[in-house]
A and B are shown apart, each in its own frame.
Chain A
Amino acid sequence: MVRVTLGSDAAEATQAAISEEIGAIAQAWDGVPETQPRLDYPPYRSSLLRHPTKAPHQADPEGVELWAPVFGERDVDPLEADLTIQHRGDPLGERIVVTGRVLDGDGRPVRGQLVEVWQANAAGRYIHQRDQHPAPLDPNFTGSGRCLTDAVGVYRFTTIKPGPYPWRNHRNAWRPAHIHFSLFGTELTQRLVTQMYFPGDPLFALDPILQSVVDPTARERLVATYDHDLTKPELLMGYRWDVVLTGPHRTPMEDV
């Protein structure tokens, strides 16, 4: 049984108490594979009043749901894929490239589709006004970018490695370093908004947002791989992260 502290006491839960709740849910998992996060995940306190309690209604996609919005060169400037050149100077931190393929659930590349990213700076601070973390802002880093996948479904961003970030889910709560990703497929049903993590982060086990993906195999898919072949001498480090969307319902007209 998971006990939850509600109300003004919520932020007073200790990491040990949150970790215990996380552990109890993991223990209770029946081992049947899960690919998605639990929406009802009490250790993430903000989810308590914001998760649907009823099972989703099964629908056969109709009309627009079988198609995705189209984005093109008019929408995205290629320079938006480089988060390190948006200001006059170089941002502080470890410069990295993050790249990978976007595939649909049948393994087909998703071509020419929009990928959006946003992240904290190297000190773990978001430029967002509501971020009250007293870490420094970086005048040379905004932390948002866009690109279109190429003809084989590859996206590629140049950025800096974000820092871990404190939040108020519980006392002394820290998010593992992550980059937010927003992705589209070839139909609406494939819409995905997620977060990419960096390998070996000691905060993984402590983080209720990552742990809301209860199946460890599915959690591992959210973690990028360090790829030395992407690393460029004296310039940047490289990480690879592939994304798989759900399967399309519409029969694709293009060949792979």
Chain B
Amino acid sequence: MTELDPTAGQTVGPFFGYALPFPDDEHLVPPGSAGSVRLHGRVLDGDGAPVPDAILELWQADAEGNVVQEPGSLRRDGHTFTGWGRASTDRTGHYSFTTIVPGTSFFALTVLARGLLNRLFTRAYLPDAAGDPFLATVDTDRRSTLLTTGDETGFVFDVHLQGDRETVFLSYPRHKR
């Protein structure tokens, strides 16, 4: 099969705010519903300053660890768990998803922002997944950037685009430079 060269990415820019967000985009389950948890944190630049114009996408398995293939993310019915959502950062660079604990070891996150020329992929591992075989492939001093920490509402995961605590971002075998 012929391999085609992929189209280049470009920055999401500053003006996605009237296009990409949608009602309840960050609520994969209704806030306060049984079993709901928060996955939240801040997006920070190389100076540690908040990035107020980022948008993150969450894609995760359900509580049993199954991949969900249900439509309805864009018009949530309050009952169907689709496994996918979007959260924009606020003025303090903070984002927040309301979701459930996946039955697997990580949340998959995609990061988009003004000033970021292409999307970034990362994984937010559950706090008890420190022994995951993939994490063993990451330098020990950077491993913690992929681990969430627990708080009273759920899980905290900061994204450092640059700097001493730069998050480990991922590329996959079929990506081309």
Contacts and interface: CB of A to CB of B under 8 A. Distances in A.
Interface of A: 33-39, 41, 44, 46-54, 56-76, 103, 105-107, 114, 116-118, 120, 126-131, 142-144, 146, 180, 182, 188-189, 191-195, 209-210, 212-213, 217-219, 221-222, 243-249
B69 A118 contact: no
Contacts of B12: 180, 182, 193
Interface of B: 1-20, 45-47, 49, 51, 57, 59-61, 65, 67-75, 82-84, 104, 106, 108, 110, 112-121, 123, 134, 137-138, 142, 161-162, 166-177
Contacts of A33: 5
Contact of B15 (A72, A116, A130, A217): A130
A67 B9 CA distance: 20
Main secondary structure of the interface of B (DSSP, over half): loop
A189 B175 contact: yes
A115 to B, nearest CB: 12
Contacts of A71: 71, 73-74
Given A47-B115, A64-B104, A56 B5 contact: no
Contacts of B106: 63
28 contacts: A35-B177, A36-B176, A46-B114, A49-B49, A50-B162, A53-B46, A56-B171, A63-B106, A64-B104, A64-B108, A65-B172, A67-B67, A69-B84, A75-B74, A105-B6, A106-B1, A107-B1, A126-B18, A128-B17, A143-B18, A144-B18, A180-B16, A192-B119, A193-B119, A213-B8, A244-B7, A246-B172, A249-B172
A195 B15 CA distance: 13
Contacts of A194: 7-10
A218 B20 CA distance: 25
A193 B2 CA distance: 23
A52 B163 CA distance: 8
- Which 9 residue pairs of A and B lie closest in terms of their CB atoms, listed nearest first? A72-B71, A46-B115, A118-B19, A69-B84, A144-B19, A50-B115, A247-B174, A75-B74, A56-B171
Given A51-B117, A194-B10, 12 more contacts: A49-B45, A49-B47, A49-B49, A58-B173, A69-B59, A71-B74, A74-B71, A74-B72, A75-B71, A107-B2, A143-B18, A245-B6
B122 to A, nearest CB: 9
A107 to B, nearest CB: 6
Nearest to B13: A180
Contacts of A54: 142, 166, 168
A238 B73 CA distance: 31
A203 to B, nearest CB: 14
